[in-house]
Amino acid sequence: MNRVSPATVDLLVHERDKGKSLRQLGRMFGISHEGVRQILAKHSPSRVKLLAENTVAARLGYPVAWLIQLRKEGIINPKKPGGHWLYTEEQVRQIPSLIAQIRRCDRCGEPRPLGYRKFCRECSQYRRKHYYRSLSLEEKAEYREKSVVWRKANPEKWKEISSRAHRKSRARVKA
């Protein structure tokens, strides 16, 4: 297939942009997928290069899960021809700033390190140490209700815990 009509090239480009794979296009036109690739490479040089999701994640050094999160939240919209998510170069350039916006601490707004889902290191430690203080008013009311129910269900344990806490606080006052 040395000569290809411009109409055929336009049709190939149009079908490829709609998401058809090279193999599907090859079957449609009776040529190999490699022949389709060569025709597209030769006759449509202005074509936007698309990168696979795994390639983008490896290039940027981010976990694929972060790209999936951006995609699921509708922040970035890659193409999905043939079952694989593909990103344009422009989208790849935008991803670091998008991730930087998303990966902020919910409490203080500082960047979160890897492995921290909602809060930065300092806020996570504060929340662990001062759990009750970090709750909202609604969460505190719910916590109190659960505590009252537990106390009624476990009076012996409650008595033991409260006496231990009382002794501990008296020891602190004396010291």
Q: What is the mean pLDDT of residues 91-101?
A: 86
Q: What is the mean pLDDT of residues 113-128?
A: 77
The DSSP call for residue 104 is B
Whether the predicted pLDDT of 68 surpasses 70? yes
Computed over every residue of the chain, the mean pLDDT equals 84
Residue 39 neighbours by CB under 8 Å, 6+ apart: 1, 4, 8, 9, 12, 31
Q: Which residues pair with 88 in a beta bridge?
A: 50
Domain ranges of the chain: 6-43, 50-102, 136-174
pLDDT at residue 134, rounded to an integer:
75
Take residue 174 and report the two structure tokens written for it: 């004396």
Distance CA 83, CA 130 (A): 47
The CA dihedral of 155, 158, 163, 165, to the nearest 10 degrees, is: -170
Q: What is the mean pLDDT of residues 62-88?
A: 83
Q: Read off the amino acid at residue 83.
A: G
C-alpha closest to that of 48 among 6, 94, 90, 12: 90
In a 3-state reduction of DSSP, which class is residue 65? helix
Selected residue with higher pLDDT from 58 and 80: 58
Selected residue with higher pLDDT from 105 and 149: 149
Fold of 50-102: Multidrug-efflux Transporter Regulator; Chain: A; Domain 2 (1.10.1660)
